Structure 1
Amino acid sequence: MKRRIITGLFIFIVILTPSNSWAEDESLSEERMNLYQKTASLTQVPWSIIAAIDQYERNINDVDEDRITGIQMDPNKWFGLLAVDENPSHYEATIQAFNGIGKDGDGDQYANPQNDEDVLFTFAHWLNEQLGKGISYEESLAQYYDREKAAQMIKQYQQLFSHYSTVELDEHAFPIPSYNQYSYRSTWGAGRGYGGRRIHEGTDLFASYGTPVRSTSYGIVEIKGWNKYGGWRIGIRDTDNVYHYYAHLNGFEDELEEGDIVEPGDVIGYVGASGYGPVGTSGKFPPHLHYGMYRDNGENEWAFDPYPHLKRWEKQSQ
């Protein structure tokens, strides 16, 4: 009798813990969505664009523990150039005196750069002002972040959020269907013999020619075609600023094109042995999928080891 009670209690705790964590994530997502939609109704800027901007900033910044959104406005823009008085009780006077863009979004007569509603409203209002000058959202964002790639990524996030009508796109899948034979191990950092001195930036999954290769994430097909190192390859960007790189393919899924939306488990190509030479080169190594992951921090992009992620996704698929 005691053993049955203890075992049942243990199982209850194991199930309850992740459930609470999931519920907390769900609650934050709902709060963000409510703010995006409220801002959209006040400014007529689509909620998906507001959500995409916030997603980009949460990807590149540490989010203040007192906030649930991540947009961090430049004080020189919020309060105005050369403003030095940031005393909360003087916010409105400072903004007006120095021609800042800070706006009151929640109706408390107080434009606070640490208030989520004020920040979202201010950014959306600024976008509308730019639009009134004939400057598109994408052009405005490229100027604001001084980076065309930032505007490109935000546009991709907006497409995904709009397509799925949600910002919860964190699901992942293992790149090889479980019914296929494959093998892999950690190969991060190993030396490469082609193309000069360089390291292996990914994990090799060995499988037979023609084995399906699946997208591991929700994302946009950013690039598709030939690379002398990776052969026939596909690059997919997800909403976490992560670029997923699938190389040495034997071919692509029919009708898959750059700009297409994919989701976890979608077949995007097939295992091959292409690469290490001009277009069409193949057979210089056993057939396998080279899978790489690259993160963008708002300034540059770097590779990180995908092996731990693959092990987790593989376990989840089983």
Structure 2
Amino acid sequence: MKKSEFKPKKARRLLISATAAAILFGTAACPALGSPDPESATTAESLDKMSREDVLASRKKLYDKIAATTRIPWYRIAAVDQYEHTLTKAHPKDRSHPKRLTGIYMNEPVWSGMFNPDRNDSNPRSISIFNGYGKDGSGDGRADMNDDMDVLYSMASYLLRHGQSEDDFGIALWEYYHNGRSVQRILQFSKLYEKFQTLDLSGHAFPLPVSASYSYRDTWGSGRSWGGYRIHEGTDIFASYGTPVRSTCYGIVELKGWNPFGGWRIGIRDLDNRYHYYAHLQGFEKSLNQGDIVTPGQTIGWVGSSGYGKPGTQGKFPPHLHYGIYRDSGLAEWSFDPYPLLRHWEAEERKAIKAKRKAGR
């Protein structure tokens, strides 16, 4: 054997031996995040005792820590995490994990590596050898797929592979989810968080001014015959022509235009990955465009009787707002009865108005 042929083989053996020794005799804490932070650990028991405001504040601290380390804006990290929360809500059995602050879920093959023989591997070094996504973000020397800091740092590290720009972010999301709907939702969530610089965007409003004259009842699931038999996927709120129609939530205008069934309609996506559908409008707020951000109570159009035909068809039924709401599972959407939410939002708004009047006396 020639001497020149021996050296590469010897080098490979030394590299394998060194790697094996690193796996067997220790791991290194994440150099970026340093030593473990006992305050960042949140147990399921402590989560149950926390208020919603405390939960959001704790999440924001986590996002800020990861943002400071990776220079990925906190609102992008928050957007991915929030989208993952919505997926878990839609698929609780498939995405089961211990209760924690974060929603990002990676199954064992993704976390530890597709060909890793140890599906429960928590050693950052061996995980990296098998190209797993799991990393040590808390600084305790372990890559725990149910540790909030580890999960967030692992996702952030994946995003960094593609770069720092917004376009790079979109590409990274596509490579991770391979689903255009997922990319769109996360970019929408990121836009909302960036605009308002807070996680608390849960406010809602009744779709018509509560001071207006209107009436409604639970009409979800009743039969409809125009265009073929189908069920009614919403609640009809009857009111006079020109009554303002308002956004019920913080959201992004996803669709705007004509629908043969709904006439002039607007669709708005909120941070819970719910699609709010407003149909049969007389017209739109002129300044409102697809992709715009809206807030609860903001006027988006006016009550009309458009629809059941080609663009411009009006008057085939009494003026009313058809309000529907749909949940996105990641691959498809389905409607659910909005009536309980409408009653709740109406009662809350009336209560707030009453309290404001009382305080002004």
TM-score (norm: length of structure 1): 0.89
- Could you say what the CA RMSD is over the residues aligned between the two structures, in angstroms? 1.9
How much does 1:80 deviate?
1.3
Secondary structure at the aligned position of 1:28 is classed as helix
1:233 corresponds in structure 2 to: 265
Q: Where does structure 1 lack aligned partners over 5 or more consecutive residues? A: 1-20
Please tell me whether the aligned partners of residues 86 and 94 of structure 1 are also in contact (alpha carbons under 8 angstroms).
no
Could you list the runs of 4 or more consecutive aligned residues of structure 1 that deviate by over 4 angstroms after TM superposition? 132-135
TM-score (norm: length of structure 2): 0.79
Measured in 1, the distance between the counterparts of 2:291 and 2:315 equals 30
Measured in 1, the distance between the counterparts of 2:285 and 2:174 equals 33
User: What pairs up with 1:136-215 in 2 under 5 angstroms?
Assistant: 136-215=168-247
**How many equivalent pairs are there?**
297
Measured in 1, the distance between the counterparts of 2:222 and 2:76 equals 41
How much does 1:101 deviate?
2.4
Which residue identity lines up with residue 39 of structure 1 in the other structure?
I
Secondary structure at the aligned position of 1:131 is classed as coil
Which residue identity lines up with residue 110 of structure 1 in the other structure?
R
| 243 and 285 in structure 1: CA distance in 2 versus 1, 3 angstrom threshold | same
Alignment partner of 1:84 is 2:117: yes
How much does 1:111 deviate?
1.3
Measured in 2, the distance between the counterparts of 1:256 and 1:22 equals 41
The percentage of aligned residue pairs carrying the same residue is 53
2:81 corresponds in structure 1 to: 54
Alignment partner of 1:73 is 2:106: yes
User: What pairs up with 1:1-318 in 2 under 5 angstroms?
Assistant: 24-61=51-88, 62=92, 64-87=97-120, 91-131=123-163, 136-318=168-350
Please tell me whether the aligned partners of residues 216 and 235 of structure 2 are also in contact (alpha carbons under 8 angstroms).
yes
Q: Where does structure 2 lack aligned partners over 5 or more consecutive residues? A: 1-47, 351-361
Measured in 1, the distance between the counterparts of 2:240 and 2:105 equals 48
Measured in 1, the distance between the counterparts of 2:130 and 2:212 equals 64
How much does 1:87 deviate?
4.5
- Bigger radius of gyration: 2
| 84 and 121 in structure 1: CA distance in 2 versus 1, 3 angstrom threshold | same
Which residue identity lines up with residue 58 of structure 2 in the other structure?
E
| 53 and 31 in structure 1: CA distance in 2 versus 1, 3 angstrom threshold | same
| 132 and 240 in structure 1: CA distance in 2 versus 1, 3 angstrom threshold | closer
Measured in 2, the distance between the counterparts of 1:169 and 1:132 equals 26
Please tell me whether the aligned partners of residues 258 and 265 of structure 2 are also in contact (alpha carbons under 8 angstroms).
yes
Q: After the TM superposition, which of the residue ranges 245-254 and 102-111 deviates more from structure 2? A: 102-111
- Give CA deviations for 1:38-70 in whole Å, capped at 9, x if unaligned: 000100111000000000001111474441101
